Amino acid sequence: MQIDVDLLFSWGAIAKEYKRNELVFVEDEVANFYYQIIEGCVRMFNSNDDGKEFTQGYFVVGQSFGEPPLFIDEKYPSTAVAFHDCKIIKLSKDKFLKIIDEYPAIQKQFLYLLAKRIYSKARTSNSIINQKPEFRILAFLSDHKKGNSNEKELVAFTRQEIANFTGLRVETVIRAFAKMKATNKIEIINHKIYF
C-alpha cells in the first residue's frame, strides 16, 4: 500500500471507477493528479506513428502510478489506461505534494519506490535492447512471475501484451514460445503458457 487510503480521503481524495480500456491520462497531458489503485490494473504505454504500442509497465492494486511528473512539473511521458475494470483514488497535485511535505515517512517511501522503479527500468531496457527475442521474453516472464518458486505458473498475459512489452511482434513472440516449449523452458497446455 502506498499512501493510507483513509488519509487520502481525509485530504479530499475521491475514488473513481474506470471501465476496461478507459483512459486515465494521456501522453503529453499536464499532470494534475496523484493516482492510486484500489481495484483493478492499469497499463502505461506509448504509441508510435504506425500505431505500434510499447508498454512501459503494469500497475496493480495498492500501487500508485504517474507520480514522477508531479514532482518535476512535466507532462505525462505515456498514456495510462484501465487494463481491467478499476477503482482508482485521485488526489490533486497540490494536496499530494503537501502530504509528501507533512509526512516524512511517506516522502521516504516514495524515495524508495522511485529507486525501485529506476532499478527495474534499467534492467528491462538493457534486456530489451541487447538481447534476442527469447531472452527478452524470458526477462519479461521472470519479472512478472508472482511466486519465486520453481513451480511453473500460468502466465496471465496474452501474446500481444507480451509483444507490446518486449517491443516484438505477436508472430515473433509465438514463434519464440514454440522454440521455448521445445527446449522445455516453458510449457504450453491448451494455448495457455506456464512458466
Partner DNA sequence: CGGTTCCTTGAGGATGATCAACGAGGGTGG
Partner DNA sequence: CCACCCTCGTTGATCATCCTCAAGGAACCG
18-47 positions binding a copy of itself, by CB under 8 A: 46
Give 160's contacts (C-beta < 8 A, 6+ positions apart): 170, 173
Torsion angle of the four alpha carbons 60, 62, 66, 69, in this order, in degrees rounded to the nearest 10: -150
Q: Is 185 in the site for DNA (CB under 7 A)?
A: no
Report, in Å, the least distance between residue 12 CB and a copy of itself.
22
- Closer to DNA by CB, 24 or 155: give it: 155
Among 176, 166, 128, 164, which residue's Cα sits nearest to residue 185?
176
Kindly state the cell numbers that stand for 31.
Answer: 499532470
Kindly state whether residue 188 participates in binding DNA, applying the rule CB under 7 A: yes
Q: What is the CA radius of gyration of the chain?
A: 18
- Smallest gap from Cβ 126 to a copy of itself, in A, equals 4
For a copy of itself, the binding residue among 43, 78, 138, 162 (CB under 8 A) is 78
Q: Which helix (H) or strand (E) holds 25?
A: strand 23-25
- Residue 69 partner contact from DNA, a copy of itself, none using kind-dependent CB cut-offs of 5 to 8 Å: a copy of itself
Residues that bind DNA (CB under 7 A): 50, 52, 132-133, 158-160, 167-172, 174-175, 177-178, 188, 190-191
